[in-house]
Amino acid sequence: MSPAGKRIIEKLSDEALADATGKGWADWFALLDAWGATGRGHTEIARHLVEAESVSGWHAQSITVGYEQERGMREVGQSSAGDWQLSASRTVNAPAARCTAAFADEELRRRWLPEGELEVRAHRPGKSLTADWDGGASRIAVYLTPKDAGRTQVGLGHTRLPDADAVAAYKEFWRERLAALKALLESGESPG
């Protein structure tokens, strides 16, 4: 396994892919090889799968990423543009507005995110937040999805990372920090 995580073919089983698309990984890879996909870009491959093979958008993206990883066109955690990124999420028993406040309010943020320099770029209370991380070396984006009973899914993307080792380190870092955010917001304390 890569330091950045599992390849997509390890996350999406051959059986599940075949159930959804009619073909497993090996069949899709053979089809894309015959089409000459190694000489094409990500968007072109995904578009071909949607338009010529009638694959849904989500599965077309998954097949494309799986193909690119298998053929050495990109590594786990690397975007089609070549930069390194990760995502993490946590469901919190708190309203979305409290979740964004926990990122936007510096005093509150230091209670669950004491390390790192976060500078908010854009903030839509209860919806999303983007910020520079460590002086703009990388960037985070936070998206809030309200769930039932006042719960919120906090989705975080961290982009512009330098390499797979940074992806692995930040994946663990954000897993721990989102757990601390959850603990703070669910503690019963008045977090601002």
- State the average pLDDT over residues 42-61: 94
Higher-confidence residue: 91 or 192? 91
* CA 144 to chain CA centroid, nearest Å: 13
The model's pLDDT over 76-96, given as tens digits with 9 standing for 90+, comes to: 878 777 788 888 999 999 999
| pLDDT score for 4 | 58
Q: Which domains does the chain have, with CATH numbers?
A: 8-70 (no CATH), 84-185 (3.30.530.20)
Q: Which residues contact 114 (CB under 8 A, 6 or more apart)?
A: none
Q: Which helix (H) or strand (E) holds 138?
A: strand 138-146
| pLDDT score for 157 | 93
Collapse the DSSP code of 169 into the 3-class scheme (helix H, G, I; strand E, B; otherwise coil) and give the result. helix
CA distance 30 to 51: 18
Does residue 117 carry a pLDDT above 90?
Answer: no
Please list, residue by residue across 60-83, b when 16 or more beta carbons sit within 10 angstroms of its beta carbon and e when fewer do: bbbbbbbbbbbeebbbbbbebeee
| pLDDT score for 191 | 46
The model's pLDDT over 144-187, given as tens digits with 9 standing for 90+, comes to: 999 998 999 999 999 999 888 888 899 999 999 999 999 999 99
| pLDDT score for 3 | 58
| pLDDT score for 66 | 94
Q: Are 100 and 124 in contact (CB under 8 A)?
A: yes
Does residue 9 carry a pLDDT above 50?
Answer: yes
| pLDDT score for 2 | 62
